[in-house]
Structure 1
Amino acid sequence: MEGKRVPHDAEALDYYLSVATMLGPALIGFFALQYAMLIGRNRKRPVPLSGRGVAARAAAGVIVGSAAGFGALWLTMYVPSYLTGDFQGLPWLMMFIALPVGGLVALGVSHCLSRWLVARARGGVAAIPVSP
């Protein structure tokens, strides 16, 4: 009697669950840091936003920043391989540069977008029309 073969669907589920357990805590921590930064920024507003408003802007910043960071990571890691034709060793070498580049892009985009969203929210200085 041979051992049972795991179906392909179970292997895919295992892969996606492992990715989720790696990325989930990182994104939650990223969101918590972004939310804490925006709370301080929100207190400086003439009409502060609610906690939900700040959380929504932090979530938008984290989502867009993570996507931009992943794009920068991919470009830094794989574009040199496409240019040189080395798909074996070069991505591993470029990974050491790509991880910090992707992280810094993600943090920078998230920070700038979230601050801009809080500054441009209704009731703020930017929403008051200027008299002629």
Structure 2
Amino acid sequence: MSLVFRTPISIRFAHCDPAGIVFYPRYFELINGVVEDWCAQGLGMSFHEMHMVQGIGLPTVHIETDFVKTSVMGDELIAELRVIKLGRASATVEIRMLGQEQDLRLTARLVLVMAQVQERKAIALPSALREQMQIYLVS
């Protein structure tokens, strides 16, 4: 059985449009924050360690998103991340954001590719990261 990475998200004033709901491009920033938290807390390698120390990154190269239900300022969401597919240099992850009543707000499927920052070239996932990612791989 695979693990699910979970992290809380507080919907703030800065996330919302004049109608008081989350402005959809802000969700992409929140999604990136979930990936960053997963790397640091779930995989044991922060973005700082990746980018600034090791010179590698995990950029999103493809994303599909369904906006299921609106969120408003003051909402407390839970984001869940699962690995759907693991390739040589890539990981496909699914992120779901849920409200306090477990109501689905958003689903996103992302393809993340391990890359060297300077060369902007895909490389194989480091074995330590791959092993950690496998813990979250849906079986």
Shared fold per TM-score greater than 0.5: no
As a proportion of its length, which structure holds more strand?
2
TM-score if structure 2 supplies the norm length?
A: 0.29
As a proportion of its length, which structure holds more helix?
1
Larger of the two Rg values belongs to structure:
1
TM-score if structure 1 supplies the norm length?
A: 0.30
